[in-house]
Structure 1
Amino acid sequence: MHAVLPGERRLTDPVIDYVRTDFACLYQHQTISEALDAIRNKPPEGQIIYFYVLDKQNRLTGVVPTRRLLLNSPEHRIEDIMFTEVISIPDHASVLEACEYFTFHRLLAFPVVDQDLHLKGIVDVELYTSELSDLERNEGNEELFQLIGMHLADTQHSSPAKAFRIRFPWLIANIAGGILSAFLSGIFAAELKQAVALALFIPVVLALAESVSIQSVSLALQALRNQKTTFAAVFQRLHAEFATGLMLGSACAICIASVALVWLGEVEVVLCLLGGITGGVAGATVIGSIIPKLLRYFQHEPQVAAGPIALAMTDILTLLIYFSIARWLLG
């Protein structure tokens, strides 16, 4: 890791360039007595804030606070006293994203890991306080929290033209989604003519799916800060979101379909609403959950791009489900 000169660090730099490698680590198969002996024989050069626990493949599996290590019986194994829920920073994160962790979680240090959970180093609270100090000195007492989440470092001091270049490309997703939705309506024009009432409910069908999609995007963005992104974690999250989406969709569908049944009395329209809303909302939860993770995987900024892409995909999927059910019932 290179030495940092005064004023050299930038919020957009990779955090991996500033990690400390003089951290204290333990192994989960050790007893407390064995772990303490190993630390005494080869103490880390830097200060000890937390003890990070590794498995035999040097993957991060837990963390042990100093108090818990000292107060438990020496014959206990490390894996029995460690906390397994570790908040870690991915090694592709920026310095600004690392500062977000200190703002949101109030911990004194965080481990930095690669996609396979190998521990690459740690960043401690000095990174955060030095950034705050730099901002106060160089930006006229600007608060660091103003940058959190929105990453104003990229936009606050840029020209309108630069802000346009950053944001417009992702809005093309909405434009494309709108055009494709219009094409879908044209493809299913016969069904719309046969049951004009279907068109009356398109706005509410789309609005429900879009609302749920944005909720899922927000939860996924928060999870990117709080959790290690592994395939198992992503699959588990998608499974839970899909189940939630089915329940949300069913509840909303029953409400809207009941109104349609009393108002219009057309069974086909009621069934289309039940299937379209349930399927659209369930699909929206999956789309909203996976898009931020895919964007982060491909090194794009999910805060800016996830919303437009998720909404466009949600509209297309929801209309496709809604119209397909109508064609099946009315064909």
Structure 2
Amino acid sequence: MKRAFGLAAVLALTIGAMYLAQRRNRHDAVSASALVNLAADWQRDLTRVPMHLTRISDSEEMRIGDQLAQRYATPIRTAEDRALERYISEVGQQVTLHARRKLIWHFHLLADPSLINAFALPGGHIFVGSGLLDQLKSEDELAFVLGHEIEHVDHYHAAERVQIEAKLRHVDLDLAGQLLSIPMSLWQAGYSKDEESEADREGLRIAVASDYSSQGAVNLLERWVQLHREYVIHAETPTDELGQVAIEGLTGYFRSHPLPSERLAQAKEIIEQEHLATGKPLKPFHLAYEITIEAK
């Protein structure tokens, strides 16, 4: 009886999702792009229906994220790194004001110049590698990067990932010892193409809502397109323009995200469709910190 009830609930939700999707888009202009996006969103929603029925609570998600963050966090040893982490947090907290979920958000620096990546944990923990920060040219680019990661939490991508991983590894999420067996590499591996695209779309929107220019996202993605070309060409024989450290860092980044050219095209499409301003002056990427020298 319970199994039949569960199947009926899934079927009802599926029909409801199809009905709402049709109503939500019935006034949109008909185009090939719109139809493709609608089909992708509809397929994504259907495949995630069972997870919606068994999703962990916000409080449980935050507990899991807190425990994982304690394991993954590394000591901040220099004044510059402390300033970087504070700066990431200030920008990130501003962007989270426009997130849908009202969580307690935390931002962490991983002081590793070879880590050209960022990732999100369930419950609102965002980690950024210093190698990725070295690639950024403006605060607006940072806001887009953080917005992308925030949306992986905001849309439950991270929560669903830990639930799926727990089932695959036979991990009891209530036991901290078992939970901590989940490696950090899982979160750096990225999500499905649909989820990464969703994080890009919504991350761009909340960054712009936070008073940042959409041009920041365009600039960063254009640079990723160029770096991807250099990476493909020079991965085996690094040149001065793209050294070995950058090659190793970009390997993980490009493997965990859709093609930069696809991400750029989507960003430009959203900017055009939603009339997002690109002429707003970019905010400089800046740090301010003090170094105290103790007298001997």
TM-score by length of 1: 0.23
Larger relative contact order (C-alpha < 8 A, sep ≥ 6)? 2
TM-score by length of 2: 0.25
Larger of the two Rg values belongs to structure:
1
